[in-house]
Amino acid sequence: MPASAGVLFFGLVLFSGPLDPMLAAIGLTPLMAAVLVGAAQNVFSKSSKYSLFDPCKEMAYIPLDKETQVRPAPTSLAVQTGSCPGRITILLL
């Protein structure tokens, strides 16, 4: 899905001239269609991350006994610090 959304997004941006009459028939400009495809790709990628990858990461802590099941503080801090620049970049865009 992400690859096809990327191809569709860049296709709308780069080949907007030939696609303009088709998109005008449904009331869209090529730029608006590219924005919608980009937004949908962002939603799909974030939802798959939260629904698939984060639970798999948390499963790594399940088989441990109760004393060692607590996540180390540096790991939690590194995850939050690493995702902060990505959030700021999306906010600025």
Name the residue ranges covered by the structural domains of the chain. 2-92
Rounded Cα gap, residues 89 and 93, in angstroms: 6
Give the pLDDT score at 9: 81
Question: Do 40 and 68 meet the contact criterion of CB atoms below 8 Å apart?
Answer: no
Predicted model pTM: 0.54
5 token code pair: 């959304």
Section 46-68 average pLDDT: 71
pLDDT digits (tens, 9 = 90+) for 4-49: 777 888 888 888 788 888 888 898 888 888 888 888 888 888 887 7
Decide if pLDDT at 54 tops 60.
Answer: yes
